[in-house]
């Protein structure tokens, strides 16, 4: 059977976060009617029940959930979902987003114009729907600094600098190559999956699929001949090589060349080996090697990106997010250190991992949408505007650093505000509701009238007075006058003053953290798991230190986070380890990992401990 993309997203969430869901909540989350959602769930249930060890459950008044015979069965079901071929995903329905990317994919790989009539037929939509899709595609193209233009009697085409055209190509191909190769464990497995999956893919033109397949096989031969590359090679690098070699061959045969004058970065030893691979493949495809194409093969679209001073960028990102979210994080040294290390790792990896899969993207976007968008804006401003670099995965991983710091704020000083109106009754209560629904770290010291406000200030000693009437100044007390229903200017005045008071440590009351992120006030299971899993990863990685190979850092991070989720839901690995397996690891390490999880209120069993410690053996 087949599932459309929305159903795959819903099923993936149900499998990644096993808990009970209300139909109306899922309907609101995926922005579809309850009727449509029930139809989706019916198909998902049919698919789930066909997976070994998995069962779809529903109960009136309770909700729906998925149960598993073992966590192994759950992971296999997730792998099956992720490996759906593109043909299966789109065979029933194309969403507006899918149609937008179908248009961009067709145009970026086309040798000339494509008529509107041809694309309308390709998408199987009405003329009016197609015009809306074209406008969406134009907006997306602008993010890559490209123009999608139309010409009477000819059709549509994409124009822009060659490096920006390649950035869009890389973005599109990376998504497809990631889909082809999902679950690959080594280079041979990667190439095998790409070769078998690309043949039936209809998202890309046939000639591009054939080229990807051919390049993959050639690259496999080259890397197997070079033992330096064959041993433990990062698969993200191999996928980037396939991606860029495909683009170089295609664009050279179309006589579209790069001109990167002025770029003169020295190559290290590893990059010199990559240059040899480029020259070798160029000879096979009868392409004249050039320094510009060599630089592009090694550095990709980063070749023209400005160099980033990591320490400065980290401080600017933290400052930007702190100010926009009114969070006191600018002096958080742990956040600065962890974010600096992450950025150094990512930037030095030449942007190889910015689009790697992380299981938390959907949840962070859904539960912490304000934070996600603020972090995205900060990265856009201080790291790169390129969608290829500033991807959802990258934004998610940076957001997780901020969530750790927020969860570490056991107590945050709050600004106490006294609200003043003519009587101290109705208007002040409305004023309080409006202001405290938007601004974090503000609590009510009470209400007062224009007559007794001086007495109330003396009694309650507030940090701030917010009044809808002009009041006489009082020494050492900040008074802000606002409208009865505060407008945007009023809110900004209050926000700035609250931020100032927090930074100056001028508050007099210490209250538990409240309203940390405007819309995300309640701590539900998902948010708690996110917080616990991030904290577990930080503590475990700090203890194990450089015993975890850099090649496996990303896999290790995801493993620890998912292990924490399994522990939380009492779904731990239950197979008993052998004495031979146990003897590979010290009792000190086993005891320390137990203590780390006990400090988080979780009981980790020996099987999960051994699974984590296995990463110390990988090189």
Domain 411-512, CATH homologous superfamily name and number: Response regulator (3.40.50.2300)
Rounded alpha-carbon distances, angstroms, from residue 523 to 97, 374, 527: 31, 20, 6
pLDDT digits (tens, 9 = 90+) for 152-182: 889 999 999 898 899 899 888 888 887 776 6
pLDDT for 449-474, tens place per residue? 878 888 888 888 898 999 888 888 88
d(CA 506, CA 414): 10
| 19 DSSP assignment | S
- pLDDT class of 147 with cuts at 50, 70, 90: very high
Output the pLDDT for position 259: 79
The pairing of strands 411-421 and 442-449 is: parallel
CA nearest neighbour of 607 among 567, 553, 568? 567
Q: Which of 165-169, 330-334, 374-378, 510-514 has the lowest mean pLDDT?
A: 510-514
What Å distances lie between residue 528 and 364, 520, 600, 608, CA to CA?
A: 12, 12, 11, 20
- Run of H or E including 375: helix 369-382
**33 vs 140: which has the higher pLDDT:** 140
* Confidence at residue 359, expressed as pLDDT on a 0 to 100 scale: 55
pLDDT of residue 233: 58
User: Which range (48-52, 322-326, 404-408, 491-495) has the least confidence?
Assistant: 404-408
pTM of the model: 0.53
Average pLDDT over residues 196-209: 75
What local confidence, expressed as pLDDT, does residue 346 receive? 66
Give the whole-angstrom CA distance, residue 484 versus residue 491. 12
pLDDT tens readout for residues 108-135? 999 899 999 999 888 877 788 889 899 9
pLDDT of 348: 59
> What integer pLDDT is reported at residue 398 of this predicted model?
87
- C-alpha to C-alpha distance for 234 and 414, rounded to whole angstroms: 47
> Of the candidates 212, 184, 200, 174, which has an alpha carbon nearest to the alpha carbon of residue 88?
200
The answer to whether 429 and 392 have CB atoms below 8 angstroms apart is no
**Which CATH number applies to 96-160: 1.10.1070.11, 3.40.50.11540, 1.10.10.10, 1.20.120.1200?**
1.10.10.10
Q: Which residue has the higher pLDDT, 176 or 55?
A: 55
- Per-residue burial over 41-51, b = 16 or more CB atoms within 10 Å of its CB, e = otherwise: bebbbebbeeb
Residues 239-259 have pLDDT tens digits of 888 999 999 999 999 999 887
Going by pLDDT thresholds of 50, 70 and 90, the confidence category of residue 410 is very low
Contact 282, 288 (CB under 8 A): yes
DSSP 159-179: ES-HHHHHHHHHHHHHHHHHH
Q: How confident is the model at residue 378 (pLDDT cuts 50, 70, 90)?
A: very high
Please count the helices (runs of H) and the strands (runs of E) in the chain: 28, 9
Distance CA 552, CA 232 (A): 10
Alpha carbons 9 and 81: distance in angstroms, whole number: 9
| Backbone φ and ψ of 175, nearest 5° | -60, -45
DSSP 55: E
Q: What is the mean pLDDT of residues 32-51?
A: 87
pLDDT for the residue 518: 37
Q: What would the DSSP string read from start to end of 326-345?
A: T---TT-HHHHHHHHHHHHH
Q: How confident is the model at residue 358 (pLDDT cuts 50, 70, 90)?
A: low
| Residue pointed to by tokens 């390129």 | 386
Tokens of 351: 């942007």
Length of the chain equals 619
Predicted confidence at residue 497, as pLDDT, reads 85
Residue 170: count other Cβ atoms within 10 Å of its Cβ.
24
Q: Which CATH architecture has domain 5-82?
A: Orthogonal Bundle (1.10)
CA separation for the pair 248, 135 (Å, rounded):
29
307 against 397, higher pLDDT: 397
143-148 contacts, C-beta under 8 A, 24 or more apart: 143/385, 143/387, 144/168, 144/171, 144/386, 144/387, 148/104, 148/107
Q: Is 53 left (phi over 0), alpha (psi -120 to 50) or beta?
A: left
**What are the backbone angles phi and psi of residue 23, rounded to the nearest 5°?**
-60, -40
Determine which of 67-81, 87-101, 229-243 has the lowest per-residue pLDDT on average.
87-101
On the question of pLDDT at 519 being above 50, the answer is no
26 pLDDT above the threshold of 60 = yes
**Picking from 63-67, 550-554, 607-611, which range would have the lowest pLDDT averaged per residue?**
550-554
Question: What one-character-per-residue DSSP string does 281-323 give?
Answer: HHHHTT----HHHHHHHHHGGGGGSPP--HHHHHHHHHHHHHH
- In the block, tokens 């497809």 appear at 176
């Amino acid at each position: 059977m087949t599932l459309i993309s929305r159903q795959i997203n819903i099923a993936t969430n149900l499998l990644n976060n096993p808990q009970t869901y209300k139909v109306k909540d899922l309907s609101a989350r995926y922005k579809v009617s309850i009727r449509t959602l029930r139809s989706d769930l019916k198909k998902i249930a049919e698919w789930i029940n066909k997976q070994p060890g998995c069962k779809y459950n529903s109960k009136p008044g309770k909700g729906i959930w998925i149960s598993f015979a073992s966590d192994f069965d759950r992971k296999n079901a997730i792998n099956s979902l992720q490996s759906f071929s593109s043909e299966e995903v789109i065979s029933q329905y194309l969403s507006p987003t899918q149609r937008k990317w179908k248009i961009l994919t067709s145009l970026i790989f086309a040798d000339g114009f494509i008529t509107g009539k041809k694309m309308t037929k390709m998408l199987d939509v009405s003329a009016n729907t197609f015009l809306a899709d074209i406008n969406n595609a134009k907006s997306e193209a602008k993010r890559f600094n490209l123009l999608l233009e139309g010409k009477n009697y000819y059709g549509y085409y994409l124009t822009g600098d060659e490096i920006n055209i390649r950035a869009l190509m890389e973005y599109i191909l990376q998504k497809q190559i990631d889909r082809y190769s999902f679950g690959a464990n080594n280079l041979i497995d990667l190439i095998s999956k790409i070769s078998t999956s690309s043949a039936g893919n209809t998202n890309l033109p046939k000639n591009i699929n054939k080229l990807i397949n051919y390049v993959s096989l050639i690259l496999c031969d080259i890397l197997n001949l070079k033992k330096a590359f064959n041993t433990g090679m990062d698969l993200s690098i191999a996928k980037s090589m396939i991606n860029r070699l495909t683009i170089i061959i295609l664009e050279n045969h179309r006589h579209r060349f790069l001109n990167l004058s002025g770029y003169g970065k020295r190559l290290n030893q590893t990059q010199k080996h990559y240059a040899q691979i480029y020259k070798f493949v160029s000879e096979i495809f009868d392409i004249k090697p050039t320094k510009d194409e060599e630089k592009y093969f090694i550095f990709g679209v980063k070749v023209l990106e400005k160099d980033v001073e990591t320490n400065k960028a980290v401080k600017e990102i933290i400052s930007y997010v702190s100010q926009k979210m009114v969070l006191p994080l600018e002096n958080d040294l742990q956040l600065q250190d962890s974010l600096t290390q992450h950025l150094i790792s990512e930037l030095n990896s030449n942007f190889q991992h910015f689009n790697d899969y992380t299981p938390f993207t959907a949840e962070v976007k859904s539960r912490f949408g304000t934070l996600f968008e603020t972090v995205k804006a900060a990265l856009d401003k201080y790291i790169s505007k390129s969608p290829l670099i500033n991807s959802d995965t990258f934004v998610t991983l940076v957001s997780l650093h901020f969530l750790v710091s927020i969860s570490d704020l056991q107590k945050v000083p709050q600004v106490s505000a006294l609200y003043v109106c003519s009587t101290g009754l109705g208007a002040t209560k409305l004023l309080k509701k409006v202001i405290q629904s938007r601004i974090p770290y503000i609590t009510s010291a009470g209400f007062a009238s224009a007559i007794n406000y001086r007495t109330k200030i003396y009694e309650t000693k507030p940090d701030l007075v917010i009044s809808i009437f002009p009041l006489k100044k009082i020494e050492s007390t900040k008074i802000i006058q606002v409208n009865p229903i505060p407008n945007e200017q009023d809110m900004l005045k209050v926000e700035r003053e609250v931020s100032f008071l927090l930074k100056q440590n001028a508050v007099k009351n210490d209250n538990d953290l409240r309203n940390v992120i405007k819309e995300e006030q309640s701590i539900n299971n998902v948010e708690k798991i996110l917080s616990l899993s991030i904290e577990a990863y930080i503590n475990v990685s700090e203890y194990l230190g450089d015993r975890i190979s850099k090649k496996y850092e990303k896999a290790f991070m995801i493993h620890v986070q998912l292990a924490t989720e399994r522990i939380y839901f009492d779904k731990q690995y239950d197979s008993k380890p052998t004495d031979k397996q146990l003897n590979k690891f010290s009792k000190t390490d086993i005891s320390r990992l137990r203590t780390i999880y006990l400090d988080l209120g979780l009981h980790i069993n020996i099987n999960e401990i051994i699974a984590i410690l296995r990463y110390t053996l990988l090189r």
